[in-house]
Amino acid sequence: MKYINNAGLELEVVSRVGKQCVVVFTKSGSTRKANIDNIKAGKVKDLYSPSRYGIGYDGEFIKVPYWRRAKDLWSNMIKRCYFEGDNKGYFGKAIVDPRWHCFGNFLADIKELPGFKDWVNKKGMELDKDKISKSKVYSKHTCQFLTTFENRHIQGDYRVGKTYCKETRSWVTSKI
C-alpha cells in the first residue's frame, strides 16, 4: 500500500508484521522500519531526501554525545555554500564534498580531523576548509578545526617563508 508523508514524499509498505512495517521511499529508494500509525499520520521521514537547502540530508547515524553540535556545524556549512542569502558570502564560491551532503557521513568523518578533540571539548574551535590548501571544498581531506583567533585573524595570511602546521596549529619556518 502507498502513502504520502508530511513532506509530500511517496512511500510504500513492502512488509508488515503487526504494526511494524518496512517502507521504501519511491524517489530515493531508501528503506526504513516504521510503525503503521506513524506511516498513516505522515510522520515517517526519508533520511536520504535532501532537507537542508536542497542538498543536505540526514542519512543514518549513531547519536554520539556531540551529535547535536555536529548537526548545527554541518547545517551551517551547508547553508554557507548553498543558501544564496547567507551573510558569509560563500554561495557560489565554495562547495561541500558530496560525501558530506549526508550528515551521517560528516559525523563519522569529523572525528578524524585535526583539532577535533579540542572542538569536542568546546575550546572555541571552528571548522576551516582553506587554511592549508586554500581549498574551496569542505571535505574530510581539506578541513580542520582551528581556534576562532586562528580562523579569523590569520585568514588568508599565508605568511612568506612560513607554513601552517596542522598538528601544532601554528606557523613554522618553511624549509626551502
- Mean pLDDT computed over 54-79: 96
Whether 155 shows a pLDDT value over 70: the answer reads: no
Do 174 and 119 meet the contact criterion of CB atoms below 8 Å apart?
A: no
Average pLDDT over residues 155-167: 52
Distances (CA, A) of 102 to 34, 64, 158, 159: 21, 16, 32, 35
Asked whether 51 and 59 are in contact (CB, 8 A), the reply is: no
Q: What is the pLDDT of residue 157?
A: 46
- Of 37-51, 80-94, 151-165, which has the strongest mean pLDDT? 37-51
**DSSP letter for each residue of 41-65:** TT----TTS--BTTTBB-------T
Residues 85-140 pLDDT 10s: 887 777 888 999 999 999 999 999 999 999 999 999 988 899 999 766 778 999 99
Could you state, in order of their start, the residue ranges of all structural domains in the chain? Answer: 2-40, 67-173
pLDDT for residue 124: 86
Supply the pLDDT for residue 162: 52
- Which class in CATH covers the domain with range 2-40? mainly beta
